[in-house]
Structure 1
Amino acid sequence: MRPLRYSINVTLDGCCHHEAGLPPDEQSMRFWTAELQRADALLFGRVTYEMMASAWRRPDTGTWPDWMDEWQVPFAETIDRTKKYVVSSTLSGVDWNAELVRGDLRQAVQRLKEEPGEGLFVGGVTLPLALADLGLIDEYAFVVQPVLAGHGPTLLAGLHERLQLELVDREEFTSGAVALRYRPMA
């Protein structure tokens, strides 16, 4: 069974809005590229799918935009080519190597986990909360940013049951951010 891994940037005060932390640098982009490469499919809700597609979809010209630094290209190429599953009841269709996921969330994600492969990556805020409540997340990776945001959506706000996690890895970045990897305790 392939594991479902949830990864996200989060500030010291728990904010997980994509603009609340530090801007990406080479070291953080290498980390996020490696995270995506640990999965053979990405699982997104509508908002995350649309946000990622607007930033990281290869343009029709085939050339990455001028704003993209050379060290961002491996991340862009990885996310662009990876299979995506989009959980949405409002979208009528998706593209960008994606497929809609409908129906019972537990059953749909369990089927995806049972497929052969390296793993599933989930990002975002709303969908991971639902998956955590269902006990479907096998690993959590939080890149804790040395920032106090003071506002914004917070990590897994509204979780129904307390989850006890075991620290399995950590990596410190020169920016002061720390990547922490956890697995649920049995």
Structure 2
Amino acid sequence: MNQPLRYAINVTLDGCVHHEAGLPPDGESMAFWTDELRRSDTLLYGRVTYELMEGAWRPTESGEWPDWMDASEVAFAEVMDPMRKVVASGTLDAVGWNAELVRGDVVDVVRGLKEQPGRGISLGGVRLPAALAAAGLIDEFTFVVHPVIAGRGPRLLDGVNLKLEFLERREFRSGAVMQRFRPVEQY
């Protein structure tokens, strides 16, 4: 049995998925994202997302967490830090932070990852998830939709056509809404 590949991301009402779109975390959303990480034992990112996450969530060289982190952010970072990270990149020469670099046909690489034992693979980013969704490899989609209209930026799964089946919904005090789906078919 293959371990599930789960794609989860914050998104604005107009479908933008970049970290500068005004999607501030709060304790409730950070607790949600921490629990999401715990569902998997591997993180799968492309280069851009890996570098973004490493810059934000890796401890400093002293092993301390940055002063800007509150307790909910430290809890998230403490779960993420020791996790296995797989980075798909044709431009990086090396990775650190419990990461391994994979090259080649990303679809074949991910098929192989899914066949390995584990609780699941947590997928993040924009371009890599679109390629994997188009190949039919994503088993679950979780979107936390924020009450923000960004008006610019990368769009969620741009160019991918999927029919999804609703699984779960949760509302946050901030007005954000988590919706979880599984794919039914591709168009």
Q: Determine the C-alpha separation between the residues in 1 that align with 2:111 and 2:177.
A: 30
Partner of 1:9: 10
Q: How big is the shift at 1:22?
A: 2.6
Give 1:13-162 correspondences, 5 Å limit: 13-159=14-160, 162=161
Cα offsets for 1:54-112 (capped at 9, x unmatched): 01001111111111111211101111111000000001111100001111112110110
Q: Determine the C-alpha separation between the residues in 2 that align with 1:109 and 1:71.
A: 31
8 Å CA contact 1:10–1:21 kept in 2: the answer is no
Cα offsets for 1:123-160 (capped at 9, x unmatched): 1101000101111000000000011111111111122x
Normalising by structure 1, we get a TM-score of: 0.96
Amino acid at match of 2:63: G
Q: Determine the C-alpha separation between the residues in 2 that align with 1:137 and 1:23.
A: 27
2:175 matches 1:176: yes
Q: Determine the C-alpha separation between the residues in 2 that align with 1:151 and 1:144.
A: 16
Q: Determine the C-alpha separation between the residues in 1 that align with 2:176 and 2:107.
A: 33
8 Å CA contact 1:8–1:142 kept in 2: the answer is yes
Amino acid at match of 1:25: D
Cα offsets for 1:25-63 (capped at 9, x unmatched): 000000111111111000000000000000100111111
8 Å CA contact 2:10–2:23 kept in 1: the answer is no
What is the root-mean-square deviation of aligned Cα atoms in Å?
0.9
8 Å CA contact 2:4–2:121 kept in 1: the answer is yes
8 Å CA contact 2:45–2:85 kept in 1: the answer is yes
Aligned-residue identity in percent: 62
Q: Determine the C-alpha separation between the residues in 1 that align with 2:128 and 2:47.
A: 9
Amino acid at match of 1:15: C
Q: Determine the C-alpha separation between the residues in 1 that align with 2:73 and 2:106.
A: 33
Q: Determine the C-alpha separation between the residues in 2 that align with 1:94 and 1:152.
A: 27
Query: Which stretches in structure 1 are left out of the alignment for 5+ residues?
Result: none
Amino acid at match of 2:184: M
Query: Which stretches in structure 2 are left out of the alignment for 5+ residues?
Result: none
Normalising by structure 2, we get a TM-score of: 0.96
Q: Determine the C-alpha separation between the residues in 1 that align with 2:94 and 2:175.
A: 40
Runs in 1 of length 4+ with deviation above 6 angstroms? none
Q: In the comparison of the two structures, how many residue pairs are matched? A: 184
Amino acid at match of 2:175: G
Q: Secondary structure at the match of 1:8?
A: strand
